[in-house]
Amino acid sequence: MPTPAQTLRNFVNQFINVDAVKAFQNNRMNTALNQLISFYETLSAGVHEARPYHVTQANFINATDCPIPALKGKSISVFMNTDDTKRFLRTWGTAEWTDLVDGGFKILIDGFDATSGENLDFYVWPTINL
């Protein structure tokens, strides 16, 4: 499982390099900057050594909702780790997830279904708002 720093570094190396057009397509620069801010928030909160919450399809209560009561009222970052997707999910632009009122998250990706039987891995880190 890559760390948030490794994931961000890989994303930057792949999409934000000497090709300015590539860097700004599909909100790539925006994605990198927002993940950098989230990573900084996690570090400044002193939780960078904390282990993330590991979530599988068994934690979902339906096709999209994953309650984590311990995270109620906290800001979080959600990392999706599947065969097709290994990255932090967005909450801006075309949002890919949103908070659940009682803690946890809801996936907003079209066609996502936690009950489909696909092996799903998510890692959820608490962050802070500056």
Q: In terms of residue numbers, what domain contains 101?
A: 4-127
Q: 75: closest CA among 38, 121, 117?
A: 38
The full DSSP string for 78-89 is EEEESSS-EEEP
Which residues, 6+ apart, have CB-to-CB distance to 54 below 8 Å?
A: 121, 122, 123
69-120 pLDDT, tens digit per residue, is: 988 888 888 999 887 888 889 887 789 999 999 999 999 999 999 998 778 8
Dist. CA 28–CA 25, nearest whole Å: 6
Cα–Cα distance for residue pair 7/129, rounded to 1 Å: 21
pTM of the model: 0.62
* Count: domains in the chain: 1
